[in-house]
Amino acid sequence: MYTAAAGWCLPRLNNSIAAGASAECDNYTAIHVRFGFRTPQSEAQLIVKYEPVIGLEIHAQLRTRTKIFCGCSTAFGAPPNSQVCPTCLGLPGALPVLNRQAVDFAIKAALALGCAVQPESIFARKNYFYPDLPKGYQISQYEKPLALGGAVEVTAAGKTTQIGLTRIHMEEDAGKSLHEGFFDSDRNTYVDYNRSGVPLIEIVSEPDMRSAAEAAEFFTHLREVLVSIGVNDGNMEEGSLRCDANVSVRPAGQAKFGTKAEVKNVNSFRYLQKAIEYEITRQIEVLEEGGRVMQETRLWDSSTGRTHSMRSKEEAHDYRYFPEPDLPPLVVDTARIEAVRATMPELPEARRRRFVAAYALPEYDAGVLTQSSELADYYEQVARDSGNPKAASNWVMGELLRTINDRGMNIADVPLTPAALAGLVALVDKGTISSSIAKDVFGKMFDSGRSADDIVAADGLAQNSDEAALLAIVHDVMGKNADAVTQYRAGKNQTFGFLVGQVMKGSGGKANPKLANELLKRELNR
């Protein structure tokens, strides 16, 4: 238990915070309300009259086991204030020691985004007071960040744009203020310092985006890259990836930027797009009514679909940056950069193109299968071992991902090995079992860890490809369903599906579908 200023409490309690409302505001309705009684046509004209200018600041927690300057765990979900020590609490006499893995992860992200890693960067103290900042300052990088430059290419609404990056710098995360969910939340705010000191990189874009859709696509692309190289888990609900948007509007054709507002508290791609769209229309309305857009920080409220003012940027604190006296300059030589580069996996966009070219997959399939490097690796092994890349894609995208999602699992936790799934694909290809039976076999494999061959043999699930036996079933079905046979022969072809179903039922679902279809059609056409 730690002491805090009046009105601020630091519990060792496992209180769950009440989930926020999830109601959303339709964007068209929001625009219509904001522009009063104007027609949709006049609203569209107003929006075209102005050009949005958007830049993003993305904070990504690095997937290290311990914090950036101490040995405390970074694991999510521990009891409040249980993963803290004198260093991350800023107690007198405690000294920071830089986490080497965090630096390597930051370098990896910089390389993946085409940034120039600087030979020397400097940590600084960013001084401000807020109760979730235990030291009274945040160790960050300011004048000399880890990496500069870089770019990301995004396509939105059929338009491809190169979005420049300004910098990537390292810093420590703050704690978390809990404003609701407790019996006395009307009087006190609780503080959990477990997150304090978790390593972050901040990725700052140039103001190159001109639509909310571009910004959402940029954020999506960055998340995909960071997850694929293993430096971030991409979990926005837990706060390990967060985004702030700087939004302004200016008359179309004007070179000078308008006054920007920073929109914070955005935790999904969809909400980012909605928040920016709302902010654009809000600023246009202010200008149309002869007002002046204020430079301020605004919060996105997903329950109302609106942003609201948090504080004026014109009154923001002077952070009084100065070099962190307890940390030497961070020197990164060429050998270290190349060592990190050697660990880089194939990036998602390159892998997508290769999947389309090498495995003849549709672009949609390739996009789904490269959502993470673990999923892409899993698919590739199934494709290689089975010899049927498209069937492998169907099984991974279908039964595997459905089962993972239903059970709240990650691909890394799947008990079914790629080799085992490839064995199932091979049994279907050989005609040993039907596709419908294969789905049942998949479920048993997933739960038991047994191979497809073992399950098929033990349960007697192999397809019946005995022509004589199937022909007898066909004749029996035709004899019992004379009316359907007559209708088929009279040209009512839809009855064929009914008769096929009866043949499959008569075989206990084990008839080879292809052979059953051929025999039935042959006998019906006699």
72 to each of 85, 92, 104, 117, 239, how far by Cα in Å?
7, 17, 19, 28, 18
Element (H, E) at 192: strand 189-192
Q: Cβ neighbours of residue 222 under 8 Å, at least 6 residues apart?
A: 58, 60, 113, 152, 203
Which of 451, 402, 457 is closest to 433 using CA atoms?
Answer: 457
Segment among 40-44, 132-136, 187-191, 430-434 with least mean pLDDT: 40-44
Considering the chain, tell me which residue range(s) the CATH 1.10.10.410 domain(s) occupy. Answer: 467-524
DSSP 387: S
Q: What is the spatial distance between Cα 60 and Cα 226, in angstroms, rounded to a whole number?
A: 8
pLDDT single digits (tens) 304-360: 999 999 877 665 568 999 999 999 999 999 999 999 999 999 999 999 999 999 999
Q: What is the spatial distance between Cα 468 and Cα 479, in angstroms, rounded to a whole number?
A: 17
Q: What is the spatial distance between Cα 400 and Cα 375, in angstroms, rounded to a whole number?
A: 10
pLDDT single digits (tens) 186-219: 899 999 999 999 999 999 999 999 999 999 999 9
Buried b (16+ CB within 10 A) or exposed e, 245-258: bbbbbbeeeeeeeb
CA–CA–CA angle 322, 328, 333 (5° rounding): 120
Which of 143, 191, 193 is closest to 169 using CA atoms?
Answer: 143
- Give residue 29's pLDDT: 36
Look up tokens 């009440």; give the residue: 18
* 241 close to 225: Cβ distance less than 8 angstroms: no
Q: Cβ neighbours of residue 437 under 8 Å, at least 6 residues apart?
A: 461, 463, 509, 510
Q: Which CATH number fits domain 467-524: 2.30.30.280, 2.60.40.1080, 1.10.150.20, 1.10.10.410?
A: 1.10.10.410
DSSP 314: G
- Give residue 317's pLDDT: 66
Which of 202, 207, 189 is closest to 145 using CA atoms?
Answer: 202
pLDDT single digits (tens) 371-404: 888 899 999 999 999 999 999 999 999 999 999 9
* 202 close to 171: Cβ distance less than 8 angstroms: yes
Question: Is the pTM value of this prediction over 0.75?
Answer: yes
* Paired tokens of 423: 């064995």
* Paired tokens of 523: 């006998």
